[in-house]
Structure formats: structure tokens, C-alpha cells
Structure 1
Amino acid sequence: MKLREIAHSRTGDKGNISNISVIAYHADDYALLRETVTAERVKAHFAGIVHGEVVRYELPGIAALNFVLKDALGGGVTRSLALDAHGKSLSSRLLDLDIAAERGD
């Protein structure tokens, strides 16, 4: 299944750092997010785009994960001629991540 089936996402940016939140639609799916959406998997998923460290923060109170992707925006908004300088499309790409799950709906 794709991550987008159990979560939604939002991005932000500061300089050359992208911030991507992954928020479970249902709190019951938070454990699956924690287990399958690791910083290592996110870094591998963005290979070629993210050249720095990926740090994951857990927010169990709101069933969310927050990822900070360093050296991810081609130099930053004011230094890059990239079409998506702010990295807003990164959330869509992350939601395309395959996650293995046994869910009883």
C-alpha cells in the first residue's frame, strides 16, 4: 500500500532545509507510521534530491512524524532556479512511498 492511503502530508522550508510532516488520518495507524517510515527510508526515497542528513521527530500526541531534510532544495529558495524551489511537491513524492501493512478495515 502507499503511504497516502493512511496519511497526509505538508511541507515547509527554511533556506536549503525542507520540512515534511506525515500525519495519520487515524491515530490507530500511527504505530505503522513509526515502524515503516524511518529517516533512513525517507533519505533513500529522496536519493539524488536530499544530499544531507534526514532527522525524524515523533509527535504521538497528534499521530504525526516530522522529517527535517538538510541540503534538500538545491541551495535554497533564493539560490536555486529549480521549478519547485520551496519543495512543496516533496510531500506528494513521500506519500508515494510503499509501506507494507496488514490492516483490518
Structure 2
Amino acid sequence: MRLRELAHSRTGDKGDTSNISVIAYRAEDWPLIRETVTVAKVTALFGPQIAGEVTRYELPQLCALNFVLKGALRGGVTRSLALDAHGKCLGSAILEMEVSAHDGGTGAGH
């Protein structure tokens, strides 16, 4: 299934860094999201579009993850000529990620 079936997303930016939060609709889906939406999968999803490191923060009280993607905005709002200089579409892109209970338990990318 697609992540968008289990969660919604919010995005923010600061300079050349994008923040993407993934928030579970239901608390019972949080363990699957926590186990399957890893740094490795997010890094692979965005590929060379991200020039720096990807860091993941867990917010279990909110059933949410926050990813900080450095070097994701091609210089940031004041420098980029990109159509989406704020990186708002990155939240929609992450929700297209495939998640499955079979992916869980690897621990990779936490």
C-alpha cells in the first residue's frame, strides 16, 4: 500500500533544508510507519535531489516522524529558480512510498 493510506504529511523549509513530517492518521498504524519509513528509504526515494544528509526524528507522542533533508532545495527560496523552492511537493512525494508489514523489522535507517 502507499504511505498516503496511513498518514498525511506537512513540510517546511529553512534555507536549503527541507523538513518533512509524516503523521499517522491512526495510532495503530504508527508501528508500521515507524519500522518501514526509514532514512535509507527516504534517501533512495529522493536520490540525487538531496545533496546532503537525511536525518530522522521520531515523535511517538504524535505518532509522527520528521525528516530533515539538507541540500534539498537547490539553494533555498531566495536562490532557487525551481518551481517548488519551498519543497511543498516533497511531502506529496514521500506519501507515494510503498509500505508493507513485510518491510518492517529491518531497523535500517533509524
Give the TM-score range, shorter chain: over 0.9
Query: How far apart are the structure 2 equivalents of 1:52 and 1:29?
Result: 30
Scaled by the length of structure 1, what TM-score is found?
0.94
Question: How far apart are residue 100 of structure 1 and its match?
Answer: 1.1
Secondary structure of 1:23's aligned partner = strand
Alignment of 1:1-105 (within 5 A): 1-101=1-101
Count of residues in correspondence between the two structures: 102
Identify the structure with the greater helix proportion. 2
Q: Provide Cα deviations, 1:22-45, integer angstroms capped at 9, x if missing partner.
A: 000001111001110001110110
Scaled by the length of structure 2, what TM-score is found?
0.90
RMSD: 0.9
> Aligned partner of 2:21: which letter?
S
Gap regions ≥5 residues in structure 1 = none
Runs of at least 4 residues off by over 4 Å: none
Secondary structure of 1:47's aligned partner = helix
